[in-house]
Amino acid sequence: MSFEKFKLHPILLEAISTIGYEAPTLVQDQTIPVVLDGKDVITSAQTGTGKTAAFAIPILQGLITSQEASKPNKKIKALIVSPTRELAIQIAKNFKSYGKHSNIRSAMIYGGTEIEPQKELLAKGIDILVATPGRLLDLHKQDLLNLDYIRTLVLDEADLMLAMGFIDDVKKIERLCPEDKQTLLFSATIPYRIEQLANQILNNPERIEIGQNDSVASSVHQLLFYVSKRHKISLCLHLLNNTVSGSILIFRRTKFGVDKLYERLKDEGFKVERIHGNRNQNERQKALADFKRNRVNILIATDVAARGIDISELDAVINFDMPNIPETYVHRIGRTGRAGRAGEAFSLCSADEKNYVKSIEQFINDQIPVENNHPFPLDPNAKPIIHKKKGSKHKKGRKSAASKKKKRRWYK
Ligand code: AMP
């Protein structure tokens, strides 16, 4: 069934057909009619399912039809809050292409870049604003934007906003918008605190669940390599030289780890780029563009930097560090093997990460096949190395607010 069943405005249907979408995806099929009806929605869906169009198309439809009755003005009518700059850029791009035959004006604002051009954009007047939480609040504090006329608020990748420590900012933003607005919450997973947030801010929402969060596509060929920590780089090089080819996304847990591996692969002559929270906006955009256009075939990323970015058609994912959250494993490897294509997911596990594998296997209810035939096998008796500071006064399980904040920054 095509998009026509939603009774969209002809200029929207024309744009959708030019882009080449033939039929709505599952998340669009279920979410678009509910949003058009004006209801609040909580949708669990991952990037890659088409969730951006699931909120962008009905928002545009509402604005186009109401614009026919009223003159364009300087009031922001729809606000989309995104945790990362990359996702904000992607969302804004989608709004522009779906709304290209209309005169709806959309813009984006995000941190880590000059504020002046964003002030100018806001002064010109826009209908749809895509924003990251910090910069949005910053501009609001300076009285440079008004959220009094918001009709629809979208919170995208809500679980990632929680993980990045934005939840209080999100609550503040919600309170700055009118009480009778429509709120749409999208999240890959619905942990307890997101459920709580939804209960606080959504009004009798419709619940839509897309895809099983614990399922791994059968087109993904998974392999687990047990290896000591100090041999991980050698094993990674061995795999890149002998086993995997094509476009490869490598995940590391920390920004420092991303940089270290990047330098080494570059020295070895690989075409490689990297993204993490310490790189500035231009660097991150360029890295992503070079990877998408095949100028480099390897991208190294932290989870947070890679989440929400539409990188599809990957040939392989390498988990250089095992993720400590089972859902993250599923998200990471779900980036390959899409649309029925075969994909590889290689995971390098050191002695201290064996427990992560156990949790992942419980979560996916399956065993990841182990490849023992490689040049750097882990000594089966190897015990995890636990680094303890001599005379440390820290009590186990109690972390200071400063150390938690530091950790959050480290993982971005
Ligand atoms: P998203 O999950 O919103 O990041 O979308 C993932 C990808 O799916 C993007 O490249 C979209 O352009 C594409 N997409 C979204 N909706 C459709 C559709 N109905 N048919 C084909 N591709 C789509």
Sheet of strand 106-109: strand arrangement? 106-109, 128-131, 78-81, 152-155, 182-187, 41-44, 206-209
> Which of ligand 1's atoms lies nearest the C-alpha of 23?
19
- pLDDT in the model for residue 400: 55
Residue 1: pLDDT band with limits 50, 70, 90: low
Best mutation site among 4, 21, 95, 288 for ligand 1 pocket (most ligand atoms within 8 Å of CB):
21
Helices 10-19 and 85-98 meet at what angle, rounded to 10? 120
Which atom of ligand 1 sits closest to the CA of residue 19? Answer: 12
Ligand 1 neighbourhood includes 31 CB (under 6 angstroms): no
Tokens of 257: 């780890």
State the pLDDT confidence band at 383, using cuts at 50, 70 and 90: low
Residue having the nearest C-alpha atom to atom 19 of ligand 1: 24
More confident residue, 395 or 136: 136
Tell me, using a 6 A CB cutoff, whether residue 93 lines ligand 1: no
Is 336's pLDDT higher than 70? Answer: yes
Q: pLDDT tens digits, residue range 59-110? A: 999 999 987 555 666 799 999 999 988 899 999 999 999 999 999 999 999 9
pLDDT score of 405 more than 60 = no
Tell me, what's the pLDDT at 204?
Answer: 95
**DSSP run (H or E) holding 15:** helix 10-19
SS3 316: strand
Nearest-CA neighbor of 312 among 270, 341, 346, 290? 341
The one-letter amino acid code at 319 reads N
pLDDT at 224: 96
Residue nearest to atom 11 of ligand 1 (CA): 50
Q: Does the beta carbon of 49 sit less than 6 angstroms from any atom of ligand 1?
A: yes
Other C-beta atoms closer than 10 Å to the C-beta of 18 total 11
CA 191-197-198 angle, 5° bins: 90
Condensed to tens digits (0 to 9), the pLDDT of residues 247-280 reads 999 999 999 999 999 999 999 999 999 998 888 8
- Tell me, in angstroms, the distance from the centre of ligand 1 to residue 364's CA: 26
- Among all chains, which residue has been given the structure tokens 């392999």? 223
pTM for this entry: 0.71
394 CA distance to ligand 1 middle (Å): 48
55, 160, 208, 310: which to mutate for ligand 1, most atoms within 8 A of CB?
Answer: 310
Ligand 1 centre and the CA of 409: distance in Å? 30
Residues 247 and 361: beta-carbon distance below 8 Å: no
Q: Cα(25) to centroid of ligand 1, in Å?
A: 8
d(CA 73, CA 320) in angstroms, rounded, equals 51
The answer to whether the CB of 25 is under 6 A from ligand 1 is yes
Over residues 202-249, the pLDDT tens digits come to 999 999 988 655 667 777 899 999 999 999 999 999 999 999 999 999
CA distances from 35 to 32, 53, 69, 207 (A): 5, 12, 20, 12
* Percentage of the chain exceeding pLDDT 70: 87
Q: Is any atom of ligand 1 closer than 6 Å to the C-beta of 51?
A: yes
Q: Which residue from 6, 52, 57, 95 has its CB within 8 A of the most atoms of ligand 1, so it is best to mutate?
A: 52
Give pLDDT, residue 285: 86
Q: What is the pLDDT of residues 104-150, one digit of tens each?
A: 999 999 998 899 999 999 998 999 999 999 999 999 999 999 999 99
Whole-number pLDDT of residue 284: 86
Mean pLDDT confidence for 190-196: 87
Q: Ligand 1 centroid to 121 CA: how many Å?
A: 27
At 293-335, the pLDDT tens digits run 999 999 999 987 777 677 767 899 999 999 988 888 988 888 8
Distance 162 CA to ligand 1 centre (A): 25
- Residue-wise pLDDT tens digits, 278-299: 888 788 889 989 998 999 999 9
Q: Which residues pair with 184 in a beta bridge?
A: 41, 154
Nearest CA residue ID for atom 5, ligand 1: 50
**From the CA of 320, how far away is ligand 1's center (Å)?**
28
